[in-house]
Amino acid sequence: MLYKKLGNTQVEISAVGQGTTGVGSYSNFNPKEIKKRIEVLRYGIDLGMAYLDTADLYGGGLAEEIVGEVIRGMRGKVFVASKFNPRTKVFDSVVASVEGSLKRMRTDYIDLYQIHWPNPLVPISETMEALSMLVDQGKIRYIGVSNFSLEEFKEAQSFLTRETIVSNQVEYNLIERSVENDFLPFCEKNGVTLMAYSSLNQGKFLFGEKQKEVLNNLSMKYNKTIPQIVLRWLISHTPVIAISLSKSMSHTKENALSTEFDLEEEDILKINEVYKHQSIKVPINRIRLNISENGPIYMTRKEALDNHLDLIPSPVVLAKIILRRKYIKPIRLVPTRDASGKYDYDIDDYDIRDNVKKYWAWVIAHGDKAGIPAIILK
């Protein structure tokens, strides 16, 4: 297993960590699946992937309970990261969040505690003050953020006097590479760790003949699977830790072994070249909000404003983030399957709820006349 330093600290964590999303919920509880997930996570730890990433949002707290069971009897051998979302009465909400996570995981401390999403509605200064206090109390060891832009990261850091923010957890994979524009170079220069979530893009790697050819050739050249090639490409970037998700022993072993070889520089460049994606502006009215098997979505602006699914951040908050940043990560579209001629594109099924949330956040921020940035997948 390859290990990397966490930020500018002397702590080393596995270059490929284990994610804990998709565990179900308290209302949709499957004891057999939970038991299997615990066994798989423990197997990953045995293989060296002793970095576990979770959040109080996952399964409404169930994921943290599972992590608590996984680390029972081996707490000192495992690096545990969790995430929270600050709310109104910021200081009290941060303290309540960490106490809830500690209780669910049955531990005295969290190694890395991360703000899950920036929230323009609450003062970041108060959030950082609370986190600094928790470090002093020994309830958390290190402070991290998630889904922060470079500007938001710098602003948050400006409110810390003794600690530094050691990491930012962001989506980074073959399709979503926007961090390469600014945040990844910043991490390389300043000793910040970039935690890459959705690292394997839910197993979707091949979108065109050139991409298929390159990945298949590299798979044969190195005698490795395509997921292993992709994970190795990610962690070839010095600051990057890849968070992987597995529900089976075989996939967990496959992920762990992705650190046991090196990609030649020319092969890294080949991957970079064939996975360049140009976003375009697509008129809102040419996008079909297709019904998905992957769960309910908001079909109207009113539903998005009401946020009855309790999405975090809500479409309204995400709209404020878009206006503040003056940009949005492109949504993913595919050619429409609708035969009426009314639409050009459907929203890609990959994390469709998140893509639809971006769609409505854009409409709330800019109206339905401004074209939305999008990547077209074929």
How, if at all, do strands 372-376 and 280-282 pair? antiparallel
How far is the C-alpha of 268 from the C-alpha of 235, rounded, in Å?
Answer: 11
Q: Phi/psi of residue 195, each to 5°?
A: -85, 115
* Selected catalytic residue, list 51, 58, 275, 359: 58
DSSP 232-251: HHHHTSTTEEEEE--SSHHH
Pairwise CA distance, residues 113 & 84, whole Å: 8
289/358 Cα distance (integer angstroms): 12
Q: Is 359 assigned a catalytic role?
A: no
DSSP code at position 306: H
Cis omega (within 30 of 0) for bond into 185: no
Helices and strands, counts by H and E, the chain = 13, 15
Report residue 320 as tokens. Answer: 């404020």
Helix H or strand E segment including 114: strand 110-115
Side by side, the strands of the sheet bearing 287-288 are 280-282, 372-376, 331-335, 345-347, 287-288
Q: List the catalytic residues.
A: 58
